[in-house]
Amino acid sequence: MKVHQIQVGNMQNFSYIVEDEETSEAIVIDPSWDLIELEMVIKRNDLKIKYIVNTHHHFDHTLGNEAMAESTKAPIIQHESSELKHDITVKDGDFIEFGKSKLKVLHTPGHSQDSICLVGDGKIFSGDTLFVGNCGRIDLPGGSAKELYHSLFDILYSLDDDLVMYSGHNYGHSETSTIGQEKKTNMVMQKCTEQQFLEMMG
């Protein structure tokens, strides 16, 4: 599985093209701005896009859905709780398969109700649930510090330390990290009670 990480727009968003190298089937994660950059990666690597996947419904992760669906003819996948237009619904535990690769869907609400992370082949696409050094905001509609606490500590904290993390924004000191590194250094991943976490998140 090969990851093309592309920074787009002016909000430090990352879009991803994730490629199954054996078959050249691929998925696009969170298309929004600068679609020409994504199209160039697709063309240069001669990729067949099987799905467009959104880590959550926020506009800076979905703005390019329609245009990308038009040019690739790929269906759009979102979590079952998303109210935004999509073609295929996934829930916690489902797998998204392309070529001989697959990514498992983890439902991680908190930043938004429909937030998902995708895990496979030693990688995690964490959307706006977890950034390098921080987590997504919880003050937008559907956000919940309480739910984020459980997503971070009951779900992400128990994952393999070696997982390489690809998040939804380039907000940290590096473009990627690992779950183990974030457990050591990310302030929102330091073990605490739910009450302490709620106080920290304001």
Residues 5, 168: Cα–Cα separation, whole Å: 10
Query: Taking CB under 5 A as the rule, which mask of x and - marks residues 81-120 in contact with Fe ion?
Result: ----------------------------------------
Candidates 4, 50, 57, 58; binder of Fe ion (CB under 5 A) is 58
Distance of closest approach, residue 56 Cβ to Fe ion, in angstroms: 6
Distance of closest approach, residue 196 Cβ to Fe ion, in angstroms: 24
**36, two tokens:** 């020409």
Using the Cα atoms of residue 136, residue 141, residue 30 and residue 60 in order, give the sign of their dihedral: negative
Distance of closest approach, residue 149 Cβ to Fe ion, in angstroms: 18
**137-196: which residues touch Fe ion (CB under 5 A)?**
none
Distance of closest approach, residue 43 Cβ to Fe ion, in angstroms: 28
Distance of closest approach, residue 60 Cβ to Fe ion, in angstroms: 6
Residue nearest to Fe ion (CB): 58
Please identify, using beta-carbon distances, which residue of 58 and 107 lies nearer to Fe ion. 58
| Residue with tokens 């535990």, as numbered in its chain | 93
Please identify, using beta-carbon distances, which residue of 34 and 121 lies nearer to Fe ion. 34
Residue 20 interacts with Fe ion (CB under 5 A)?
no
Candidates 19, 94, 114, 128; binder of Fe ion (CB under 5 A) is 128
Which window, 27-35, 121-129, 155-163, 180-188, contacts Fe ion (CB under 5 A)?
121-129
Please identify, using beta-carbon distances, which residue of 128 and 147 lies nearer to Fe ion. 128
Contacts of 30 (CB under 8 A, 6+ apart): 13, 14, 15, 16, 53, 54, 55, 61, 62, 127, 168
3-state secondary structure 32-100: CCCHHHHHHHHHHCCCEEEEEECCCCCHHHHCCHHHHHHHHCCCEEEECCCCCCCCEEECCCCEEEECC
What is the number of H-type helices and E-type strands within the chain?
6, 14
CA torsion 75-171-167-188 (nearest 10°) is -130
Distance of closest approach, residue 110 Cβ to Fe ion, in angstroms: 11
Contact positions toward Fe ion, by CB under 5 A? Answer: 58, 128
